[in-house]
Structure 1
Amino acid sequence: MSISSSLNAGVAGLAANATRLATISDNIANSGTYGYKRATADFESMVLNQARSAGTYSAGGVTASTSRLIDERGSLVSTTNAMDIAVSGRGFLPVATTASLDNTTGDQPLMMTTTGSFHTDADGVLRTDSGLVLLGWPANADGSISTMPRDTISGLQPVVINANQTAGDPTSVMNLGVNLPATDTDSDANGDTLPLSIEYFGNLGTSETLQVSFTPTIPASGSSNEWTMVIRDSATIDDPATAADESIMGTYTLTFDNTSVNGGTLSSVVPDASSPAYDATTGTLNLSVAEGLQNITLTIGKIGDTNGLTQLSDSFAPTSITKDGSPVGNLTAVEIDENGYIKATYDTGFIRTVYQVPLVDVPNPNGLTSLDNQTFQVSSTSGSFYLWDAGDGPTGTVEGYAREGSAVDVAQELTNLIQTQRAYSSNAKVIQTVDEMLQETTNIKR
């Protein structure tokens, strides 16, 4: 009977609007929750099959289905904590719970979130107050990241930052800009050797010295424009059993141009038989120092280059000596850049990459399973995950000193609340009216 279907439709309307009210209340309650994704309730009508123009109509009612709009992103909020992390754009941060890391019975499902405030715990593990641990790929000693699998979490590890860690930065590149006095190669010059000491840092953070000497060639008349450069390494210990000077890394004959076009620049560099070769294309020498355990690329300048070794005027002047490397330093700060690289800064100015945090992407973010603490897991409707480098592929970038705000618009939710209240009252009125009509029907026999 159609009057009974009206009652059923009214009851269904009450249930559907109650469901919508639940999503609205959840949204309003989490309007200040970082990274919260708005929940919605969609209504769908239920129609009972019936003949056209049958003269009667049976109400099918309504059903409500809920979903969470995970692909909606809140605005970024600036903070003062370097490891407050948010994703700007598409993608999720890989995380795990403390409990799952302690479980060694098998692989744990990947969890992900769009933002988090991470701090180091007593063991140096980066985690949130709610127990979410940040995952990343560990860097090699030189700061590079090895090739990792992208469709599995087997390469991901908890990010561990020890506050008391120290690190050294060995010297690998050195640029030598020195002016040699042209007058010292004249026939009446005294032929004194000009010394130069350059500090470098070894693989173990020790301070060592490259001792470079320049000895002019004195001709019988005129000017030779020629020097002998000898490079010695303080880290090499001489062998008393041999008469050779073991500390000598290389001996080179330098000839300088005296023409009007390239006057004062190198015209040739000739190594002796036991010295590393001179690369005329780059103007470099590849020195093996510290007993052969360390290589330093020393740039002395290309042929005709005014930025390396020169021979001008009458003064000996080290004009520009630059090098990389630093002594052993203590950790002072940790930050994350837009590409997801976590960089440790030491008090010596040395900056080293320690981890890379990839971004997780799935074909259908709204199909993810929602968990506590604004975390999500892959489901059958979301599709398989893939780990991207931040800023690459479809994913966005990683923002430090930032949190993602709630995706809730309180004004819109209050509007929805009023509409839901009116709809609920109207459905209650329908039930009341049906009850009165049924009462009238019962009273007919009296």
Structure 2
Amino acid sequence: MSISSSMNAGVAGLSANANKLATISDNIANSSTNGYKRAQTEFYAMVIGSSSTKYTAGGVRTTATRVIDERGPLVSTSNATDIAISGRGFLPVTTLSAIEAGGALPFQMTTTGSFSPNAAGYLTTASGHVLMGWAADSTGSIGTQSRDTTSGLTPVRVLTNQVVGSPTTQLTLAANLPATSTEAGATGTVETQVIEYYDNLGKTKTLSVNYIPTVPATGESNTWTVEIYDDAQGGALVGTYDLVFDDSRTGGGRLLSVTTIAGGPYDPATGLMSIDVASGPLTINLGVPGQADGMTQLSDGFAPVAVTRDGAPSGTLTGVEVDASGKLYGTYSNGLTRLLYQIPVVDVPNVNGLQALGSQTYAVSQDSGAFFLWDAGAGPTGEMLGYASEGSAVDVATELTQMIQTQRAYSSNAKVIQTVDEMLQETTNLKR
């Protein structure tokens, strides 16, 4: 009968509003939880067969969902590995327990995380989730990675006791040679320059460069012979080149030509030549003929203007930082910066269809659709931010308002039950 359906509807209303109060209380409790996504309860009316002369109350049912696509405010921090995303997308993570167990690594996602190296060097949150990424090789290359599988992802591990060095592979010579040394009657003084470079083990080695003037019987030769010796090979001669300088009004003092006597050939288009030192090939830039930079011959003084080189001695890791594209770089005490990992951004077609797990993490489900790994800032995804965390997506004022509304709705449903009970009592009293 209709009066009993009213009782059932009232009970359903109590249950529904109790469910809503549960989500509200959870939201308020997590209003300061970084990365928390608001839960909400949606109400659905239940319809039971009725007619124009008789109505049967069907009551109400609820479903609880999590609004994962809502973003909380971004908050600046002082930790370089506090990471958030300024837009759509998730960070790939796994669990520390799975790494320690040595089994298959579960693939999970989060929108933000406060990561720091644990005892083993894994970038881990306080809840035990480890950041994942594509590891760079020794040359700093990520290579081609699968975008729709996790096959290339590995836990990000930063070893603070890691020692690295970088060998010197390129070197630029710039010096002024005295023009008076190539005149007839000059003493033929050899000018010497000692240049440091780094070998494959980060050790400092030296090249000795001798500049030998060609002294003519008459006039000026404007010619020098450059001999390069590698001290790492016991002072072996590794390159000999003849340099001729221009003495014209427009190009006076500039390099005119270079002739290779021994060593790698000189390329006049680039100004480069290559010699073989103990650690491997070393490219030297002498300058392009006719250009003002590089080697010159002016006046009467020898002046090594500048020597630039790549490479670095051995150094220890001092810190890591992530850039907007998701590249994680390590900085070292020797001034070297090296790419360690590329952190992709995970995206799915239906964000709200993800399965919610603990500690603000999520897993792919049938409702969410398959994931894809983007470079941060590419496609629909946002850029990656270091020194940042995403705050809770909860608005406490809104939740308190809904709590008052829920309380009143609960009281109203309780009043319905009380009224039905009184009516049933009246019906019972009719037979007395």
Q: Same fold, TM exceeding 0.5?
A: yes
* Residue 397 (structure 1) aligned with residue 402 (structure 2): no
2:263 to 270, 275, 282: 275
Whole-Å Cα distance in 1 between the matches of residues 254 and 76 of structure 2? 53
Give CA deviations for 1:99-154 in whole Å, capped at 9, x if unaligned: 2223445x343111122222222222221222112222222112222322222222
Matched with 2:151 is 154
Task: Please show how residues 273-422 of structure 1 align to structure 2 within 5 Å.
Answer: 274-290=262-278, 293-422=279-408
Measure how far apart 1:369 and its partner are: 0.8
TM-score (norm 1): 0.92
Moved more, 409-418 or 171-180: 171-180
Distance 2:399 2:281 in 1: 65
Which has the larger displacement, 434-443 or 316-325?
434-443
User: Deviation of residue 28 (structure 1)?
Assistant: 0.3
Quote the offset at 1:436 in angstroms.
2.5
Equivalent residues, number: 432
Separation in structure 2 between the aligned mates of residue 5 and residue 265 of structure 1, nearest angstrom = 103
CA distance in 2, matches of 1:108, 1:345: 29
Q: Give 3-state SS (helix, strand or coil) of 2:18's partner.
A: helix
Deviations 1:72-117 (A, max 9, x none): 1111222222222222222212111122223445x34311112222
Q: C-alpha distance in 2, partners of 1:394/1:230?
A: 58
Letter in 2 for 1:269: V
Question: Which residue of the other structure, out of 160, 169, 172, is the alignment partner of 2:169?
Answer: 172
Does residue 20 (structure 1) correspond to residue 6 (structure 2)? The answer is no
Deviations 1:170-211 (A, max 9, x none): 112212111112222222322211111110000111111122
- Report the Cα offset of residue 35 of structure 1: 1.0
Tell me the equivalent position of 1:262: 251
Mapped partners of 1:394, 1:225: distance in 2: 63
Read off the aligned partner of 2:63 and give its amino acid letter: S
Task: Give the superposition deviation at 1:376.
Answer: 0.8
Query: SS of 2:5's equivalent?
Result: helix
User: More displaced, 153-162 or 359-368?
Assistant: 153-162
Deviation at 1:57, TM superposition (A): 2.5
The CA distance in 2 between the partners of 1:418 and 1:161, in whole Å, is 49
Distance in 2 of aligned mates of 1:45 and 1:7: 15
CA apart distance, 1:445:
4.2
Q: Secondary structure at the match of 1:116?
A: strand
Spell out the pairing of 1:135-154 with structure 2 (5 A cutoff).
Answer: 135-154=132-151
Greater shift, 1-10 or 359-368, is seen at 1-10
Q: Which residue of 1 aligns with 2:219?
A: 222
Structure 1 spans left out of the alignment, 5+ residues: 239-246
SS state of the match for residue 167, structure 1?
A: strand
Quote the offset at 1:258 in angstroms. Answer: 2.0
Select the residue among 106, 116, 121 that pairs with 1:119: 116
SS where residue 279 of structure 1 aligns? coil
- The letter for the 1-side match of 2:25 is S
Q: Map 1:159-238 to 2 at 5 A.
A: 159-237=156-234
SS at match of 2:276: strand
The answer on 1:134 being equivalent to 2:131 is yes
Moved more, 420-429 or 408-417: 420-429
**Is it true that 1:32 corresponds to 2:32 in the alignment?**
yes
Distance 2:417 2:390 in 1: 44
Alpha-carbon deviation of 1:49?
4.4
By how many angstroms is 1:354 displaced?
2.0
Q: Which segment drifts farther, 333-342 or 23-32?
A: 333-342
Unaligned runs of 5+ in 2: none
Q: In structure 2, what is the Cα distance between the partners aligned to 1:44 and 1:313? A: 94
Which residue does the alignment assign to 1:432? 418
Of 149-158 and 27-36, deviating more is 149-158
For normalisation by structure 2, the TM-score amounts to 0.94
Partner of 1:101: 99
Amino acid at match of 1:435: D
Secondary structure of the residue aligned to 2:299 is coil
Ranges of 4+ aligned residues in structure 1 off by more than 6 Å: none
Shift in Å at residue 415 of structure 1? 0.8
- Deviation for aligned residue 1:431: 2.0
- Matched residues in 1 for 2:263 and 2:318: separation? 41
Cα RMSD (Å): 1.9
Q: Tell me what 1:242 maps to.
A: none
Change (3 A) 1:391 1:288: farther
Distance in 2 (alpha carbons) for counterparts of 1:120 and 1:131: 11
**Which residue does the alignment assign to 1:46?**
46
- Aligned-pair identity in percent equals 57
Cα distance in 2 for partners of 1:26, 1:98 equals: 26
Give the CA deviation at 1:324.
1.6
Shift of 1:349: 1.2
Letter in 2 for 1:253: D
Distance 2:11 2:216 in 1: 113
Cα shift readout 1:360-407 (whole Å, capped 9, x = no counterpart): 221112111111111111111111112222222222222222221111
